[in-house]
Amino acid sequence: MKKPMTKSDQNKEKFLTEQQIRRRTIKGLIGIGLGITGIFGGLKWANADNEETPGFIKKIFQFNSNVSKALPGKKSKVREFRHEEAVPKPRVNGDIGILDTNKLNQYVFLEKPDGSQFKVSMEEIKKLPKTEITFEFKCIEGWSEISNWGGTAFSEFMNAFQVGGKKGRPDTTDSSSLFSFGGFETPDGKYYVGLDMDTLLHPQTLLCYEMNQQPLSIAHGAPVRLIVPTKYGIKSLKSIGRIYFSDSPPKDYWAENGYDYDSSL
């Protein structure tokens, strides 16, 4: 019959296993490290600019890099949930630049590359293809909640109103034709954020006018707000008054107050 293990035997066994695991982990890491070095070495040799790289490989590299630039929202998506999993009454956080009902703006002002402004009405925005997202909204203050939002992908909006490109209609297959950032402001200009173009083209970045399939309340950013699931809540500006595009990072309220400009999750 097997003797029951003493406490010290158990510890020994545990210690040995941990040590073994550690050894294996180190071996594994070395393996991965060598693998990565190999891949990068190979890539460095076979990059599209290297004169020694055979033409057909160059073509593949050029093709791949064009495709990855062309793919709107090449960054990974956040997890989505079923609509029923969303809280019925999401909490309200932050009221900088939120107007009272009487002053509610029904337009978003857009800027063209030449600096001229034009306005887009809520009716026009609501005509764009509609999409919904239920995801875990995360505030930098340390709370999170699963909430449901409806609106239109920001890329649809860019395309429909021909903004974000340096020459009219944005060509998402050519990132050099696009501005690097979008800037967003409340109608009074008191709250403002900047977002990079990859985030603007991300399929989960929405121009949002509904919560739980109802029009947004004023406190949640009526008539239209940003929902940026890949970033902390500070970037999801409520009550959009003005949108513009630029190559330098637009001013950002919380970045000015010491937070990370990017604020990715």
Query: In the complex, which residues of this chain contact ligand MTE (CB under 6 A)?
Result: 90-98, 139, 186, 191, 220-221, 233-234, 236-239
For 76, counting Cβ atoms within 10 Å of its Cβ (0-12 exposed, 13-18 middle, 19+ buried), the class is exposed
DSSP assigned state of 236: S
d(CA 247, CA 91): 34
183 binds, among Mo ion, ligand MTE, none (CB under 5 to 8 A by kind): none
User: What minimum distance in Å lies between the beta carbon of 248 and ligand MTE?
Assistant: 22
Is residue 233 near Mo ion by the rule CB under 5 A? yes
User: What minimum distance in Å lies between the beta carbon of 81 and ligand MTE?
Assistant: 16
Beta bridge partners of 137: 145
220 binds, among ligand MTE, Mo ion, none (CB under 5 to 8 A by kind): ligand MTE
Is residue 96 near Mo ion by the rule CB under 5 A? no
Compute the C-alpha angle 236/241/231, nearest 5°: 10
Residue whose beta carbon is closest to ligand MTE = 94
77 binds, among ligand MTE, Mo ion, none (CB under 5 to 8 A by kind): none
- Closer residue to ligand MTE (CB): 105 or 239: 239
Annotate each residue in 115-154 with x if it binds Mo ion (CB under 5 A) or - if it does not, as one string. ------------------------x---------------
214 token code pair? 């109802």
User: What minimum distance in Å lies between the beta carbon of 93 and Mo ion?
Assistant: 5
Rg of the chain, C-alpha, whole Å: 25
258 token code pair? 């010491």
User: What minimum distance in Å lies between the beta carbon of 167 and Mo ion?
Assistant: 36
DSSP assigned state of 119: E
Is residue 182 near Mo ion by the rule CB under 5 A? no
Asked whether 207 and 167 are in contact (CB, 8 A), the reply is no
- Closer residue to ligand MTE (CB): 202 or 220: 220
238 binds, among ligand MTE, Mo ion, none (CB under 5 to 8 A by kind): ligand MTE
178 binds, among ligand MTE, Mo ion, none (CB under 5 to 8 A by kind): none
d(CA 199, CA 74): 9
d(CA 21, CA 15): 10
- Phi first, then psi: give them for residue 149, nearest 5 degrees: -135, 145
- Closer residue to ligand MTE (CB): 70 or 87: 87
Closest CA to 238 of 207, 203, 198: 207
- Closer residue to ligand MTE (CB): 93 or 162: 93
Distance of CA 256 to the CA centre of its chain: 20
Residues that bind Mo ion in the complex, under the rule CB under 5 A: 139, 233
